[in-house]
Structure 1
Amino acid sequence: MEVLISTLKEMVSFIKDWGALIIAGISLLVAIISLFKSSKAQRLQNKVNELELKIKQDELDKITKEKEDAEFACVEARFITVGKGKHRLKVWNSGNATAYHVSARFDGDVGIMIMDQEKQPFEELEARKSYELLLITHNGSASKFRIVTEWTDSSGNQHTKTQMGDFS
């Protein structure tokens, strides 16, 4: 029995000396693991924040573009045939804002004359509105040509659009 008691006393002495070190070591290990997991979670949170910021920026860009498109005039023109030997140049505003001082012309000498040139420049062409110009063609007219439209927006900025046209 004395042997058992002396063994227990030695163990208690050992536990007193080394127990605190073992518990401190385990605590240190838990703290290191906790720090590693916290760092990993923080990196993940930073990536999530970057993605959220990018998504918000994309949404803001989209809203800005929609706002600009809502305030943008876009004038286009097409060569149309309305009957045998009768042609017109239809000019319209496909944008969402009013275009000012609108004019259309053919690029270069294509052998097509605009008869009612006095309509141009068309002072104000509202969104989705149009006007037509009478044309005269002859056998020497080009089969393909460029149509140039020019207009001014509400800010006073000058715009030009060039499109291809043909006899169809």
Structure 2
Amino acid sequence: MNHHNQMFNYHFWANQTLLNHIKELPTTVMQEEVNTSFPTIAQAFGHIYAVESVWYRVLNGVQMQEALEICMPLEKETLLHSADHFANDFAQLAAKYKEWLQDQDNLDRTILLENPYAGTRETRLSEIVLHVVNHGTYHRGNVSTMLRQLGHASTMNDYSLFWYQEAGDSINL
């Protein structure tokens, strides 16, 4: 398996691991407000989902501005999603990413990325895939902090744990 597929599989596994943990908590935890980077856990997951949707479209040739206009409303549309709903949304999006990754023969190919927030640059497809993984890792850390602020433990979803989980095929990737 190539490294980018492996990293994306980790990303999907980590999202599902954290969401599965949240499913064991009171259902209200997704909507409880905290004073941190996102007001609620649902908003944090909504942001991750919307941004991943943007990057999926960019990888498929949609200009970033258009992808943002299409996908960023998902942040508001997912405000009341449950952990189950997010797990399903992420699984569907992950299936699209995995299909896209299987169809790629050159992730070092560059595209001209016109980012309305940061400017224009040539970007390798592989950089975008790794950004999606890194972005998710960053915000899962936010969610873990939010859980602790709400009086709940988080759950380990480090890449090193994934190595061992993957070996046992405990999660359907």
TM-score by length of 1: 0.25
Instruction: Indicate the structure with greater helix content.
Output: 2
Between the two structures, name the one with larger relative contact order (CA 8 Å, sep ≥ 6).
2
- Greater CA radius of gyration, 1 or 2? 1
Give 1 or 2: higher strand fraction. Answer: 1
